[in-house]
Amino acid sequence: MAGSGLSILLTNLLLKEWIARPRPSSIMHLVNARGFSFPSGHAMNSLFLFSVFYLVYKPYIPQKLQFIFKICCVLFPLLIGISRVIVGVHYPSDVIGGFFTSHCWYCHLLYVFA
């Protein structure tokens, strides 16, 4: 699993260099961000982290709390992605692209380890 986490970081860096989309410039940034914009690393890494977290810890969560656990694992990455657009360092398409790439990587992980 640790190798999968490192591989998604590498995938993000390679995609950013390959696509080389500049960050939004017309919007006042609330935080400093360097490098290219697409895909959003925060969106990509948070979705992957919470997806793996859900996969690993779901069997240990009591049945009564599983719905809340699932909602949290979906809601946290979503809020992280939205926050990147709000602070002005990503376009919405960057976040959607990060989520999509992360989901594809997670599905690949499930296929490989199944």
Which residues are annotated as catalytic?
A: 42, 90
Buried b (16+ CB within 10 A) or exposed e, 54-89: beeeeeeeeeeeeeebeeebeeebeebbebbbeebb
Task: Give the angle subtended at the CA of 59 by the CAs of 56 and 63, to the nearest 5°.
Answer: 135
Say if residues 8 and 39 touch (Cβ distance below 8 Å). Answer: no
